[in-house]
C-alpha cells in the first residue's frame, strides 16, 4: 500500500481490495480531481488500466469489456459533466445486467454549491440505474478510514457482480488537496495490520453465493406442462453465457421442441448440437404462423429481439409461456407469461431434461425444420457469383468467416435485426454481444473495442452509418486492440429503419423525410483516415470477400 499521504493511502487500499475482490480491469478518463484513484489503479499490479479520453466513449468501452469477460470493470472520471457523460453506458449496464464499478471524483463538501468550478450535484447522479450508490466521504488515513475504503471496495465489487442481479454501482469520492502522490509526513496514522494490509491476499470481506434449483415438486410441475403440450417451442433470447448451450440442447432433445434461437442467445452457432435450431423464424411465421402455433413456449434469456416473433407469441393469449430467468429480471413486456422461474438457465434446463423423454410432436418439429431448410437454401443462394450485395448476402458471408473464440458485437436498429433474420446456424464457437438493454445506437464502436481489448479475442463490430456517427470518437481506441479487429459499417444512407413504422404511412411525406429519416451524409473513409485505421470499401460480393480477407480495419459496405 502506498503511504505517501492520506489520499494516496486511502485510494491505494481501495484499489487493492478491488483487485482482491475480482476487479482486474479499469478504464480511466484523465482528469485532475480523480488523480488519487487514477494513480492507485495504475499502480495496482492486479488491475489492467486502459485510458480513454472521452468519458462517453470510456463508459461504453468499459461496458463492452465487462460484457466480454463477465467480470466487473472499474470506470473512473473526474468531477463535473465528465461524470454525466457516463450516464448512457450506466443506463445500458443497468438494463443489460452488466457489472460496472463507476468511480466519480468530486469536490469536498466545502466547495459544493458555492460556485466552484467543475462542480455539479453528483449525489445519486444515475438515479435508480445503479444497484448501489455510496457517497464515500472525506476521511483520514486512520484505521477507521482505511477499513471503510477497503470494505466499500469489497461491497461494490460484490454488488456489481450480482447480488442478486449484476449491474452498475456508483461510488462518489470527495478529495481534498493534495491530489498528487506527494509525501506528507504524519498524514497516515493507521496502526492496525488489517487496516494497512487487509487480509494480505483474500478480500477484506468475502461473499459466498448459493444458487438454488426449484423444488422437486416445482420441477415436476414444469415437466408436466411440457408433457401435456407436445406442440411446443423453446425460444432463446439474448443471454451471454455459453454454458447454457449444452443443457439447452439436452432439453431440446428431451422435449422434442424446436429452438428459435437469435444470435445473441449464444445458441444459434457453436460446437453444440444445434440440429433443432430454427433461425429463419420470422419468415416462417409470416408464411405458416397460423399452422405452426404452439401450445407451450419455454423462454430462456431476455425478451426476443424480433418484433414479429413477439407479436406472434402475444397474439395467442391461451398460449402457455414459461420464462426461465437467472438474472432476476422480468422479461415479459406483453404480459403473457404464465410462470417465471428464477433460476440459472443451465441448471434448470438440465434438471428438466432429466425428467423428460422426447414428448414432442415429431410432425410439428419436422414442419419447422423443413421450412428452415428451405429458407437456408435460399440464403445459401445469395452467395452465387453475380448476385447483388444485400443484407442477406452480407450476413451469410460474414457468418462463414467467423472463427472459434471470436466476438461479434452488433449495433441496435437495423444491424441487429438483419443479423437475426439472415445469419444461418454454424459450428464456430462465437460469442454474439449487443447493447440491447436500452437499445440505443450510441457507443457501439467503443463497446466493441472494449470487448476486443478485454477479451484479447478476434472481434467483429457491425454497425450502421448512423451508429458510426454517434460514436466517431470511439474509433480512437482502435489502436488498443491487439487481436484482429474489424469494424463493418453498413452504409445504407441511414438504414430507413423508420420506414417500418406507422409514421411512414401516417405523416405527410415532407414531414416524414425531414423529421424521421436519418441519412448522415458522411465520408466514412475520411473517418478511418483520421484515426489511421486501414480502410476497405465493398459494393459487391467479390469486393466484400476481398475486404474480409484483408485483416483488421474498417470496412464500409454500401447497400
What secondary structure does DSSP assign to 234-298, as a single string?
A: EEE-----GGGHHHHHHHHHHH---EEE-GGGT-SBSSS--TTEE--HHHHHHHHTTTT--SEEE
- What is the tally of structural domains in the chain? 3
What radius of gyration, in Å, describes the C-alpha atoms of the chain?
A: 25
Answer with the one of 318, 345, 372 that is the final residue of a domain: 372
Tens place of pLDDT per residue across the chain (559 aa): 889 999 999 999 999 999 999 999 999 999 999 999 999 999 999 999 999 999 999 999 999 999 999 999 999 999 999 999 999 999 999 999 999 999 999 999 998 999 998 999 999 999 999 999 999 999 999 999 999 999 999 999 999 998 678 999 999 999 999 999 999 999 999 999 999 999 888 999 888 776 678 899 999 999 999 999 999 999 999 999 999 999 999 999 999 999 999 999 999 999 999 899 999 999 999 999 999 999 999 999 999 999 999 999 998 767 889 999 877 778 888 888 889 998 889 999 999 999 998 778 999 999 999 999 999 999 999 998 878 899 999 999 999 999 999 999 999 989 999 999 999 999 999 999 999 999 999 999 999 999 999 999 999 999 999 999 999 999 999 999 988 999 999 998 886 777 777 888 889 988 888 888 878 888 999 999 999 999 999 999 999 999 999 889 999 999 8
Q: Are residues 301 and 391 located together in one domain of the fold? A: no
Q: Are residues 358 and 421 located together in one domain of the fold? A: no
CATH code for the domain of 161 = 3.40.50.970
Q: Are residues 539 and 414 located together in one domain of the fold? A: yes
Answer with the one of 340, 372, 404 that is the final residue of a domain: 372
Asked whether 64 and 110 are in contact (CB, 8 A), the reply is no
Q: Are residues 410 and 549 located together in one domain of the fold? A: yes
Q: Are residues 163 and 32 located together in one domain of the fold? A: yes
Q: Are residues 243 and 354 located together in one domain of the fold? A: yes
Q: Are residues 250 and 304 located together in one domain of the fold? A: yes
Answer with the one of 341, 372, 403 that is the final residue of a domain: 372
511 lies in a domain? yes
| Cα–Cα distance, 443 to 472 (Å, whole number) | 9
348 lies in a domain? yes
| Cα–Cα distance, 69 to 219 (Å, whole number) | 31
39 lies in a domain? yes
Q: Are residues 366 and 391 located together in one domain of the fold? A: no
Residue reference for cell 397474439: 315
Q: Are residues 156 and 79 located together in one domain of the fold? A: yes
Residue reference for cell 453528483: 122
187 lies in a domain? no
12 lies in a domain? yes
Find the domain containing 235 and state its range.
216-372
377 lies in a domain? no
185 lies in a domain? no
Q: Are residues 297 and 418 located together in one domain of the fold? A: no
Asked whether 406 and 384 are in contact (CB, 8 A), the reply is no
Q: Are residues 417 and 308 located together in one domain of the fold? A: no
Q: Are residues 228 and 254 located together in one domain of the fold? A: yes
| Cα–Cα distance, 169 to 224 (Å, whole number) | 41
What does pTM read for this prediction? 0.95
465 lies in a domain? yes
CATH code for the domain of 329 = 3.40.50.1220
Amino acid at each position: 500500500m502506498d503511504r505517501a499521504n492520506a489520499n494516496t493511502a486511502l485510494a491505494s487500499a481501495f484499489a487493492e481490495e478491488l483487485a482482491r475482490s475480482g476487479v482486474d480491469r479499469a478504464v480511466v478518463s484523465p482528469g485532475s480531481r480523480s488523480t488519487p484513484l487514477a494513480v492507485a489503479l495504475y499502480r495496482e499490479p492486479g488491475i489492467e488500466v486502459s485510458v480513454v479520453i472521452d468519458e462517453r466513449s470510456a463508459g461504453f468501452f468499459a461496458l463492452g469489456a465487462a460484457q466480454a469477460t463477465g467480470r466487473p470493470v472499474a470506470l473512473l472520471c473526474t468531477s463535473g459533466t465528465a461524470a454525466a457523460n457516463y450516464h448512457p453506458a450506466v443506463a445500458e449496464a443497468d438494463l443489460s445486467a452488466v457489472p460496472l464499478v463507476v468511480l466519480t471524483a468530486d469536490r469536498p463538501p466545502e466547495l459544493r454549491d458555492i460556485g466552484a468550478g467543475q462542480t455539479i450535484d453528483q449525489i445519486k447522479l444515475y438515479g435508480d440505474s445503479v444497484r448501489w450508490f455510496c457517497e464515500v466521504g472525506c476521511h483520514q488515513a486512520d484505521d477507521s478510514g482505511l477499513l471503510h475504503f477497503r470494505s466499500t471496495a469489497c461491497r461494490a465489487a460484490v454488488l456489481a457482480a450480482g447480488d442478486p442481479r449484476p449491474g452498475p454501482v456508483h461510488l462518489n469520492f470527495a478529495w481534498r488537496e493534495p491530489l498528487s502522490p506527494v509525501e506528507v509526513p504524519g498524514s497516515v496514522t493507521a496502526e492496525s495490520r488489517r487496516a494497512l494490509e487487509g487480509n494480505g491476499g483474500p478480500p477484506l470481506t468475502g461473499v459466498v453465493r448459493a444458487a438454488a434449483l426449484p423444488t422437486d415438486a416445482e420441477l415436476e410441475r414444469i415437466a408436466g406442462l411440457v408433457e401435456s403440450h407436445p406442440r411446443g417451442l423453446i425460444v432463446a433470447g439474448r443471454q451471454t453465457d455459453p454454458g447454457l448451450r449444452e443443457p439447452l440442447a439436452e432439453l431440446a432433445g428431451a422435449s422434442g421442441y424446436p429452438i428459435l434461437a437469435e444470435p445473441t442467445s449464444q445458441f444459434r452457432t457453436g460446437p453444440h448440437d444445434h440440429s433443432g435450431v430454427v433461425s429463419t423464424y420470422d419468415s416462417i411465421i409470416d408464411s405458416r404462423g397460423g399452422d405452426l402455433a404452439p401450445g407451450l413456449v419455454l423462454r430462456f434469456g431476455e425478451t426476443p429481439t424480433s418484433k414479429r416473433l413477439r407479436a406472434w407469441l402475444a397474439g395467442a393469449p391461451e398460449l402457455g409461456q414459461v420464462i426461465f430467468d437467472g438474472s432476476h429480471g422480468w422479461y415479459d413486456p406483453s404480459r403473457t407469461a404464465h410462470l417465471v422461474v428464477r433460476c440459472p438457465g443451465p441448471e434448470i434446463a438440465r434438471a428438466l431434461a432429466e425428467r423428460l423423454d422426447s414428448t414432442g410432436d415429431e410432425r410439428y418439429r419436422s414442419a419447422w425444420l423443413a421450412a428452415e431448410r428451405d429458407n437456408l437454401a435460399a440464403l445459401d443462394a445469395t452467395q452465387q457469383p453475380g448476385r447483388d450485395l444485400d443484407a442477406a448476402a452480407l450476413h451469410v458471408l460474414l457468418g462463414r468467416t467467423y472463427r472459434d473464440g471470436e466476438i461479434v458485437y452488433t449495433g441496435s436498429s437495423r444491424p441487429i435485426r438483419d443479423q437475426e433474420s439472415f445469419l444461418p446456424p454454424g459450428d464456430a464457437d462465437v460469442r454474439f454481444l449487443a447493447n440491447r438493454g436500452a437499445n440505443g445506437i450510441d457507443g457501439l464502436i467503443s463497446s466493441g473495442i472494449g470487448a476486443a481489448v478485454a477479451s484479447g479475442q478476434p472481434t467483429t463490430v457491425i454497425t450502421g452509418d448512423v451508429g458510426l456517427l454517434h460514436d466517431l470518437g470511439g474509433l480512437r481506441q482502435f489502436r488498443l486492440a491487439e487481436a484482429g479487429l474489424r469494424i463493418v459499417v453498413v452504409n445504407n444512407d441511414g438504414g430507413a429503419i423508420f420506414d417500418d413504422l406507422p409514421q411512414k404511412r401516417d405523416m405527410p411525406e415532407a414531414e416524414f423525410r425531414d423529421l424521421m429519416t436519418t441519412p448522415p451524409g458522411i465520408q466514412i473513409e475520411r473517418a478511418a483516415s483520421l484515426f489511421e485505421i486501414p480502410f476497405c470499401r465493398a459494393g459487391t460480393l467479390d469486393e466484400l470477400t476481398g475486404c474480409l480477407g484483408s485483416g483488421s480495419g474498417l470496412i464500409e459496405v454500401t447497400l
